[in-house]
Chains A and B, each alone.
Chain A
Amino acid sequence: MKQFRLIISLFVLSIGVLCFAPTAWAFCGFYVAKADSKLYNQASQVVIARDGDRTVLTMANDFKGEVKDFAMVVPVPTVIQKEQVRVAQPKIIERLDAFSAPRLVEYFDSDPCAPQYRDRLYEAVPAPAARISGATRGDNANLGVTIEAKFNVGEYEILILSAKESGGLETWLNRNGYKIPRGAKQLLQPYIRSRMKFFVAKVNLDKFEQSGYEFLRPLQISYQSPKFMLPIRLGMMNANTAQDLIVYILSPQGQAEITNYRTVKVPSDTNIPVFVKNEFSDFYKSMFQTAYLKEDRKVAFLEYAWDMSSCDPCSAEPLNQEELKQAGVFWLDNDTNDNFLAPNIRRPFPRSSVFITRLHIRYSRDKFPEDPMFQTTSSRESFQGRYILQHPFTGELNCQASREYKRSLPKRFEQEAQTLAKLTNWNIQDIRKKMKLSLGNLNYSWWENFLAWLGL
């Protein structure tokens, strides 16, 4: 029995070495590029760290206009006091974005004249990445609006309002200098009647200038509520086009998903032509749009799900403890010991770590009538949007095996072209053309083609 265990552990170890030894054979692929949120014009980003019903919500601010015009109204489940609000570092969302973005990896074919080595690599290619296994009351009364709290945090002036009826709230906001779009009344009502409060923020210009920041920093609020949802309906009031929302859910448990819409994985782990290396952003945008249309525009896409103590391949270094705390992870203090566990070992009690789920929701009024509700599950299954470039061997080839290798290449390229066309809806002829350009050194002489035709 002991021997058997030894064999098993050796086997596990050898897999570990194969997979995680730095760069040796690029078994898990070299990381090349990422498709982060900068791709989209108007992507809102939200970080939700949640454990039980305690939540820390960080809202990135992508406001592009004059700072003095900025105001936001967000329905929140409970009254929020000053201690529950802070201003987060903008960098933290960038870090999460970079860490979880869909990624491009590349492999290089080895010399086909060294067959054993090649076989191993070939097996390795299609394998997905290794499994590795958070008041005042005044004359507002006749409008039915109560100011539950009023305070300043950083450059923001914050009000927490509760209201009795939507008309009153709309009037109040207009009177107090908040430009509320038309039609807001109808949309505010359901939130008022579900006893939600309104988190209203605008910028204190003096403080903003003092702070020296160029952009508005993210606001982070913590609260305790069984409601695990994001109020997106208000944001759709003026929008005619689809909007992108990227939600990073950090949980001590495992993967998060949406309960009232389908959560679908983005297409992943596919081999695509090597020329995509230079246009990965275009590729990802087209691929996402194609997948979005294919799913009839009414699903949320899972782009990343991983234990945050590791990544493979890494598009950015994992966040350290301090950064995780910045991102709102509040349960780390209790279990610092567990973080010393090797990152690749599945833990029986995964509460020690942080699991990230990156959901990309492209929503529009007609297909997302209801605010998305979330739940965290205990699934620790890893997933990443990962696209593979397989470079052919470009060295000298003069052995028997090389002919077979060369013969196999056109079929492989054609397969890659078709995959790319299918994923992105790009024209297959254009793809083929581009591929030829990038594969100039693989043209065969006529006799090679002839021999290939003869099957020799």
Chain B
Amino acid sequence: MLLKDTRDYQILFLGLFLVLGIGTRDWTLHPEFIAVAIAFCLSTQWLLSSVKGFWSFDNNQEQQPSINLRSALITSLGLSLLLRTDHWITMALAAVSAIASKFFLKIGDKHFFNPANFGIISALTLTSNAWVSPGQWGEEWWYCLVFVGTGGLILRKIGRWDTTVAFLGSYSLLEAIRNLWLGWTWDVYWHRLMSGSLLLFALFMVTDPRSIPNAKIGRVVWAVCIACLTFILRNYFFLSTAVFWSLFALAPLTIFLDYLWSSPRFSWLGEGRRQEAEGRRQEDDEGDEGEGGDKGEIPTHNSTRAKCAASANSTQHSSLSTLITEV
């Protein structure tokens, strides 16, 4: 059913941003590239899910391959919003690598790269005609309100406010210290923080619950690390795409953080764990597979993940903790 899934909201909001961006922000966005992004994301998702399903079937696991098109659509919208190119092949490459990263770059059943971010970095490094325009949203307050409002709604549903707060909090603190030390007036500081692109990243990309650490403490540590790296890359290496590079560079840290905070520290949440497992089965019925491929794995060899997931606000949102935000 429509809007039953938090990802539907996300698709709606990202679509809205695209319309807003093209309509009011004077972008040189080619509609055909949006189509290319969507087509390649969905078809890669379908293809790899089918191959995976077939392989699983071969292994006598009686499962029907179900395809998770929602998250692929989110990835494609994210790419359309952020990645600029003047060649469709670049967009296709970004889309394919974004989705493929979910299937191939994973530990256990968890992919650790944010797909859209992975796609962007692939396009930036592998081709010569991709770029990101950090200034494209400007720094208007009503855009900030729209981003905070819509982002807030989704974050409340998936319970990932902590990540955004940790990221923006630590980043703005670092910027404040720098501003104070350099002796710029405070309007310079606010100008840097009001950037629509920064907020969009903080609210929609760094909070993808599938690829970021499961434990709350892990997420906070992780977000603070990303903020520090972003700060360094932006101010000392003058990279305009600092946020994307730091998320990319620190994504593998997720595995370590999940390992670190899956320890007995959270084992007291036995009840939460059970609920989590139940929630997961429910989700399988809805056909949310594809990127995780985590059916039937929880009780057997993936206790680490179950513990981590259980700690991630799962007591409050048993079915929500399994939802996927990708951008």
Contact = CB atoms under 8 A, between A and B. Distances in A.
A317 interface: no
Interface string B118-144: 000000000011110111111110000
Interface stretch (B187-195, B257-265, B267-275): B187-195
B134 A259 contact: yes
Nearest to A260: B135
Interface string B169-189: 000000000000111110110
Contact of B192 (A260, A298, A375, A377): A260
A227 interface: yes
Interface string A224-260: 0011100000000000000000000000000001111
A42 to B, nearest CB: 23
A379 B84 contact: yes
B181 A193 contact: yes
Contacts of A282: none
A193 B182 contact: yes
B133 A190 contact: no
Nearest to A166: B183
Contacts of A285: none
Given A261-B135, A261-B138, A262-B135, A378 B130 contact: yes
A259 B131 contact: no
B32 interface: no
A152 B240 CA distance: 36
Interface in A251-296: 257-265, 296
A145 interface: no
Counting chain B CB atoms within 10 Å of each CB, the highest count among A226, A265, A373, A375 belongs to A375
Main secondary structure of the interface of B (DSSP, over half): loop
B136 A375 contact: no
Given A226-B238, A379-B131, A262 B181 contact: no
Contacts of B240: 259, 373, 375
A377 B185 contact: no
Contacts of A369: 184-185, 187-188, 190-191
Contact of B191 (A166, A189, A260, A262): A260
Contacts of B25: 262
A119 interface: no
Interface in B39-89: 84-86
Chain B: interface residue count, which band?
Answer: 20 to 34
A366 B188 CA distance: 10
A381 B86 CA distance: 8
Given A226-B237, A228-B238, A259 B135 contact: yes
B131 A370 contact: no
A262 B136 contact: yes
Contacts of B191: 260, 369-370
Contact of A227 (B137, B188, B238): B238
A378 B140 CA distance: 27
23 contacts: A166-B183, A193-B181, A257-B135, A259-B133, A259-B134, A260-B135, A261-B135, A262-B26, A262-B137, A264-B26, A298-B139, A349-B128, A369-B184, A370-B184, A370-B188, A373-B238, A377-B131, A377-B133, A378-B86, A378-B129, A379-B28, A379-B131, A380-B86
Interface of A: 166, 186, 189-190, 193-194, 226-228, 257-265, 296, 298-299, 349, 366, 369-370, 373, 375, 377-381
Given A194-B182, A259-B134, 18 more contacts: A166-B183, A189-B183, A193-B182, A228-B238, A259-B240, A260-B191, A262-B25, A262-B135, A263-B135, A298-B139, A366-B187, A369-B187, A370-B188, A370-B191, A375-B131, A378-B86, A380-B86, A381-B28
